[in-house]
Chain A
């Protein structure tokens, strides 16, 4: 987040997006009607900046009107509410989202004839009864400058173009470049062309240390070690950088880091999120996501598995696990809500997430009415709904008895035992069966014993028989006790067996209806499965209904204009801090105009033609000179383009919460790099869960893990939706209650307190201090600095730190009690308390530097 100074950039007339008195959310009649799901933690001036940015970067020297860039946003923002896709709210039988047709714009538009165009008359009128938008619509009037754009557009013929994101992907030809121009490939050439238009130039490449740290953080979420730095510095070969890229792409840490971004998008968490906010174990899905990135599963399969992995003819465990994507929504536990309402909520949540994650559109807007801005009718929403409506699962989580509840599971799920677990389980099953057989046999023998003395039977004989029966009964008791014990063991074992909740179709298809204004029990017309008409049609199927697999295949077909663009934009955002379309959650009509449209189209079509190769895409981006630029610039340059949308320098932004924590764990040398498995609970301040949980919530208290479980990477940290880990949320991690395509980045005193005082971070500093005391005294300071920041301190930094160290050392030497409070009683390092304390404070200082928490 930047100071608002930057907002002085741009053409002020494009800036405002004013109130829309929309009937968008009909809370009163309808609790499920609010479909305007928050798909992101938003950066601040969404539309304002969107438009100012279009004005700043898009128009440049190009004086010709570009409908999509210059006119459509104005129509969308000021006109579509009453003259757009939503039929119900359409006024005067006029829709301006289309040029042709009965109600189309041509009714109010005479190409090349400004005076004869009603539209122009209306937007320029000074009569409040005539002017559009009408004053009572609470919309910003069309400014004189905007009027000029309309005039120019009409003069040029008033042509429409398909919205850029809805056009099919055709690779734009890269700009022609002079032979010795800057850059190594098309990415750079597209960027350079924009810079040339703006009369500015790129920065030189960053130094090797900065570069390696940037690359390591971006690809693996971890900083480079000192030896990795040394190796990279020593490698003078021309492809040294590429070697580093390849090494990092092969690291298992790559999947963890990429996966962590994905988990925000799909709202992965460890609790239900509603009412009791009970435990819900989806960790096998997380493990699959990480594995998929590490194995470079092609993105089209990545999408297919998640949408429809259960529908392969012989689905693998991975495919089934991935279909758990459909189980990630918030879900209520039974007892208060009506199940039919819960079902509708779940399905809507599922579809909305598909919209955000794969389409980059706010399809949820169409739950209650036709979408106001994008061409998605309410009917089309429910046609998508029909694909996800048929889950074979109860809509609310189950009762508290049994292992499922304790394991955080809800049917349907598959179990994924390790071979050892499978052997142990088989053994227990066999033992149980054997026991049961024995018990049954004994019981039958006992059952046959006559109760009364039979004729001819002597007293002794009877006594013997009785004894025998008693023996049998005793034996039965013993065996039953043993059986109970085995059942306990089996139950304990099952608690440990990973299980993945999956998607599963019911055998008969549950009909889907339009829900009138989104009300779950106010059903309108029944609808068939289908996709929105503005997108390419799905392949026809015959003799069976369209399936989720058909839908998945449609999403990743070559013709689909959205899937690749949306994905590429997000991957770009991961590397440059801001997407080419900044509104990564919405690339529709109300989303932001792309900073480099041709570049986005180029990368998206490359992505498809590469068979959706994620690692290749990441590599191409980080290999570009654009990526490798230095982020040092003048204050003026930072002010004019604070988010680096022009890419005239290397991007510089604060690291995400997880990366900050992992960096501390890694650089202090305590990180446990174990991969996968159930979520872990590092320490957090006491009482946080208690303050919000029900006594009957499971779990209701936070019990931190111990040992090396608390120093796992943050992607494995337990996520309670009702109160996520504060170490994460204070640094802008979302609650994972809904899909988040990009995080906000703020800079707050609460963050400063966290980084200064957090127990685990301080402990890590102390451990590093103790470790560093074992290093050569000469150069120790420099080595610590390099360990944490990847740089060696220059003379100035050295001086400040040395002075601070002397200061801390004297201070603690004079206050032994305070120094002693630092010391870890369990470790017998042999170093004096004041030395440990002073070095810890130096490390605490370095951990709190702006450059440490920042990727540059």
Chain B
């Protein structure tokens, strides 16, 4: 094969972590063996420095990046990502994109000069577009004076650590394709998700845990009616080898499917069973000659190790009362967003590369004020606590937190059009999200929208730009991280030019 690959082999790289497979990433420019070597040495040193935390990092090889040719800097700004996906699309008008002048526009038609005949959903097609301002108060927060909605009192305290993106925009106008687009860079199924790309591009830090874990929450305080669906493709590996796909942890029962031994089998029995299985497998390996049998043996052993590493990960009994309290009362309930945030912190500590939380229930076509209050309650304190907790442990610098939905919501109303009771339709042209930690400047807002929070006025950030920036913070050049599929070199950022939003990097 090529130089990169040979090199990995010499290092025993194929003893890869979460699964076996012949995967080698495809990178456009080839590092010389020498460059690579120095990079790997460096990575190894870094590893030795940082491996003292949490669960033992068992595989030296697994820390080594899959392909250093795509790495842009010797020291990436971040090692982990926690992506807080607000599925259903929160209203930027009511949470982040403060438009005090809208007050005067109540129930006035949205000027066509603003809407420009843009396509709408089947729900509001052919209907009048009457503006409804947000009923919520906004206050300036922190030294930076960022405008934050009164629905986010806790998060407001973190204002100086947040970079609010107000000019996010996407192509899709319906949930399913829009979510697929944010998660995989494509509206249609079949592409690799963000976490899968990172697993593929960077390899593992902890050999005993997946590189990419997904946690979901729904049906809490806010939306319980129109809770939009999820699909396993959102954390799938698409065309990448499936070992890179996200592992969705379950909130009830086994966090990892089929993790627990069945009734009547304890760890002792399982160990004996695996000893017998291993002895027979090794015998067959000698007779048949297929090294795949060896892989089976090692995967069974890893499964056995996961039977202790995963419960250790999800067991919160050692968390202090202060920490638990900081995440709010919901942290005590299985499957809450707050509990998932705390889990995410524990995963970062143990070296999980990419953690994606999906909190559902933001699709507020009607009675938005009531439902949004509830949704904001679900996430506000937990997000704030997560940032604080990571900071306290010195992990915030290494961890990029992203908070975003799949699109925004319209300034014009749906449902009842009262000052304090309204709904909003899907809006792809602009939406807000925020970033924190991981080499991102705090206390800033980036990008602006017009007076109606309808079109981006300046500094647009397309979804692919967000992807490029995310990869960049992990030390990856998005142009160079690719994989050949059906005759094309596929990239997370697709084929249109994407840009790292350098202005927000610290």
Taking beta carbons and an 8 Å cutoff, which residues of A are in contact with B?
A: 1-8, 10, 12, 15-31, 34, 36-39, 41-42, 44-48, 52, 76, 138, 273-277, 330, 332, 334-339, 362, 365, 372-373, 585-586, 588-591, 631-635, 637-639, 642, 652, 654, 685-688, 691-697, 721-724, 726, 729-730, 732, 735, 737-738, 744, 746-754, 756-759, 762, 796-797, 800-801, 803-804, 807-808, 811, 818-822, 837, 840-841, 844-845, 848-851, 853-854, 856
* Chain B residue contacts of A24, Cβ below 8 A: 488, 495
Could you mark each residue 250-285 of chain B with 1 if its beta carbon is under 8 Å from any beta carbon of chain A, else 0?
111110111111111110111011011101110111
Report whether A44 and B487 are in contact in the complex, using a CB–CB cutoff of 8 Å: no
The answer, yes or no, to whether B181 is at the interface (CB within 8 Å) is: yes
Beyond A41-B242, A800-B279, is A753–B228 a contact (Cβ under 8 Å)? no
- How far is it, in angstroms, between the C-alpha of A749 and the C-alpha of B1 when the chains are bound? 27
Given contacts A15-B1, A586-B487, is CB(A697)–CB(B229) below 8 Å? yes
Q: Determine how close the nearest CB of chain A comes to the CB of B213; give it in whole angstroms.
A: 12
> Given the interface contacts A685-B254, A726-B257, does A362 sit within 8 Å of B299 by beta carbon?
no
Q: Do the beta carbons of A335 and B122 come within 8 Å of each other?
A: yes
Q: How far is the CA of A38 from the CA of B188 in the complex (A)?
A: 9
A757 B487 Cβ-Cβ under 8 A = no
Contact A856 B288 (CB under 8 A): yes
Q: What band does the interface of chain B fall in when counting residues whose beta carbon is under 8 Å from A? A: 35 or more
Q: Which of B236, B253, B290, B494 is packed against the most chain A CB atoms within 10 Å?
A: B290
Rounded to whole Å, the gap between the CB of B247 and the closest CB of chain A is 7
How far is A591 from B22 in the complex, measured between Cα atoms in Å? 19
**Counting chain A CB atoms within 10 Å of each CB, which of B21, B230, B259 scores highest?**
B21
Partner of A373, one of B6, B291, B487: B487
Chain A residue at smallest Cβ distance from B497: A21
Interface contact B122-A338, CB-CB below 8 Å = yes
| In the complex, chain A residues whose CB is within 8 Å of the CB of B176 | 274-275, 332
Residues on B with beta carbons closer than 8 Å to the beta carbon of A738: 188-190
Q: Is the CB of B251 within 8 A of A46?
A: no
What residues of A have a CB within 8 angstroms of the CB of B269 in the complex? 808, 811, 818, 841
Given contacts A738-B189, A849-B277, A633 and B284 within 8 Å (CB-CB): no
Q: Which of B76-84, B132-140, B167-175 touches A? A: B167-175
Q: B480 contacts which chain A residues (CB < 8 A)?
A: 19
In the assembly, what is the distance between CA of A188 and CA of B306, in Å? 46
With A841-B265, A848-B277 as contacts: A38 and B238 at CB distance below 8 Å:
yes
B496 beta carbon closer than 8 Å to chain A:
yes
A691-B123 in contact (CB<8A): no
Q: Which chain B positions have C-beta within 8 A of A759?
A: 262
In the bound complex, residues from chain A placing their C-beta under 8 Å from that of B316 are none
A753 partner, pick from B14, B175, B232, B257, beta carbons under 8 A: B257
What are 27 A-B contacts with C-beta separation under 8 Å? A12-B2, A15-B1, A31-B173, A37-B188, A38-B190, A42-B239, A44-B23, A45-B484, A138-B28, A365-B486, A586-B486, A589-B487, A631-B290, A633-B289, A685-B257, A687-B252, A692-B229, A746-B20, A749-B18, A750-B257, A757-B260, A757-B262, A758-B258, A818-B264, A844-B265, A850-B293, A853-B296
Q: How far is the CA of A45 from the CA of B1 in the complex (A)?
A: 11
Bound: A2/B83 CA distance, A: 32
CA distance in complex: A330, B295 (Å)? 36
Instruction: Indicate if the CB atoms of A811 and B289 lie closer than 8 Å.
Output: no
Query: Would you give the shortest CB distance from A376 to chain B, in whole angstroms?
Result: 13
In the bound complex, do residue B22 and residue A45 qualify as a contact, i.e. CB atoms below 8 Å apart? yes
B227 interfacial by beta-carbon distance below 8 Å: yes
B502 within 8 A of A: no
CB contact between B295 and one of A3, A591, A803 (< 8 Å): that residue? A3
Assembly CA distance A738 to B256 (angstroms) = 26
Question: Which residues on A sit within 8 Å (CB–CB) of B251?
Answer: 687, 691
In the complex, B489 has a CB within 8 A of chain A: yes
Whether A638 lies near B299 (C-beta < 8 A) is no
Give the CA-CA distance A338 to B118 in the complex, in Å. 13
- In the complex, whether B153 has a CB less than 8 A from a CB of chain A is no
In-complex Cβ contact of B284 among A19, A330, A850 (8 A): A850
Closest-CB distance, B215 to chain A (whole angstroms): 10
Q: Is the CB–CB distance between B2 and A16 below 8 Å?
A: yes
Question: With a CB–CB cut-off of 8 A, which chain B residues contact A586?
Answer: 486-487
CA A740 to CA B218, docked complex, whole Å: 32
Question: Would you list which residues of chain B between 218 and 251 have a CB under 8 Å from chain A?
Answer: 218-219, 224-233, 236, 238-239, 241-243, 247-248, 250-251
Q: A837 and B264 in contact (CB under 8 A), knowing A15-B2, A337-B174?
A: yes
State how many angstroms separate the Cβ of B307 from the closest Cβ of chain A: 8
The minimal Cβ–Cβ distance linking A328 to chain B, given in whole angstroms, is: 14
Question: Complex: how many Å from CA A590 to CA B288?
Answer: 35
B77-131 residues at the A interface, CB under 8 angstroms: 119, 121-123, 125
Contact B300 A27 (CB under 8 A): no
Chain B window 49-92, contacts with chain A (Cβ cutoff 8 Å), 1 for yes, 0 for no:
00000000000000000000000000000000000000000000
Which B-chain residue is minimally distant from A691 (CB atoms)? B216
Interface residue B420 (Cβ < 8 Å from any Cβ of A): no
Complex: A737 Cα to B174 Cα, angstroms: 18
**Interchain CB contact under 8 A, B257 and A7:** no
B496: contacting residue among A26, A44, A46, CB under 8 A: A26
Render B310-338 as a binary contact track against A, CB cut-off 8 A, 1 for contact: 00000000000000000000000000000
Given known contacts A590-B486, A590-B487, A632-B287, is B258 in contact with A753 (CB within 8 Å)? yes
Contact of A48 among B9, B26, B227, B247 (CB under 8 A): B26
> Is B191 among interface residues, defined by CB-CB distance under 8 A?
yes
The answer for the CA separation of A638 and B177 in the assembled complex, in Å, is 43
CB closest residue in chain B, given A652: B290
Q: Find out whether the CB atom of A635 lies under 8 angstroms from the CB atom of B291.
A: yes
Task: Determine if B484 and A48 form an interchain contact, defined as CB atoms under 8 angstroms apart.
Answer: yes
CA distance A804 to B271 in the complex (A): 11
Task: Report chain A residues within 8 Å CB of B417.
Answer: none
B366 within 8 A of A: no
Closest to A50 in B: B484
Task: Determine whether the beta carbon of A821 is less than 8 Å from that of B280.
Answer: no
Residue B479, interface by CB 8 Å: yes
Q: Determine whether the beta carbon of A692 is less than 8 Å from that of B296.
A: no
For the complex with contacts A750-B256, A845-B273, 4 further pairs of A-B residues with Cβ separation under 8 Å are A2-B292, A44-B23, A332-B174, A696-B226
B349 interfacial contact with A, CB 8 Å: no
Quote the shortest CB–CB distance from A662 to chain B (angstroms).
Answer: 18
Contact of B20 (CB < 8 Å), options: A3, A30, A730: A3
- Also in contact, A722 and B486, with CB within 8 A (given A818-B266, A851-B284): no
Q: Inside 8 A of B285's CB, which chain A residues have their CB?
A: 850
Is there a chain A Cβ closer than 8 Å to B302's Cβ?
Answer: yes
A669: shortest Cβ distance to chain B, in Å?
Answer: 19
Residues of A within 8 A of B307 (CB): 753
Query: Chain B contacts of A25 at CB under 8 A?
Result: 186, 494-495
Q: Do the beta carbons of A756 and B306 come within 8 Å of each other? A: no
A4 touches B229 (CB 8 A): no
* Chain B, 195-223, CB within 8 A of any chain A CB: 216, 218-219
In the complex the two chains form, is B20's CB within 8 Å of A652's CB? no
Chain A CB within 8 A of B19 CB = yes
Q: Chain B nearest CB: distance from A266 CB in Å?
A: 15
Nearest 4 interchain pairs by C-beta? A38-B190, A590-B487, A822-B264, A752-B303
Tell whether, in the assembled complex, residue A46 and residue B484 are in contact, meaning their CB atoms are under 8 Å apart. Answer: yes
Inter-chain contact B291/A638, CB cutoff 8 Å: yes
- Closest-by-CB residue of A relative to B300 is A752
Q: Answer yes or no: B5 CB below 8 A from chain A CBs.
A: yes
Q: How far is the CB of A209 from chain B (nearest CB, A)?
A: 14
The chain B residue sitting closest to A8, CB to CB, is B1
Interfacial chain A residues near B288, Cβ < 8 Å: 631-633, 652, 851, 856
Assuming the contacts A362-B487, A686-B253, A850-B296, asked whether A44 and B229 have C-beta atoms less than 8 A apart, the reply is: no
Give Cα distance in the complex from A143 to B307, angstroms. 49
A723, B292: Cα distance in complex, Å: 29
* Contact partners of B22 in chain A: CB under 8 A: 1-4, 6-7, 44-45, 642
Partner among B122, B190, B292 whose Cβ is within 8 Å of the Cβ of A37: B190
CB within 8 Å of A: which of B385-409?
Answer: none
A742 to chain B, nearest CB (A): 13
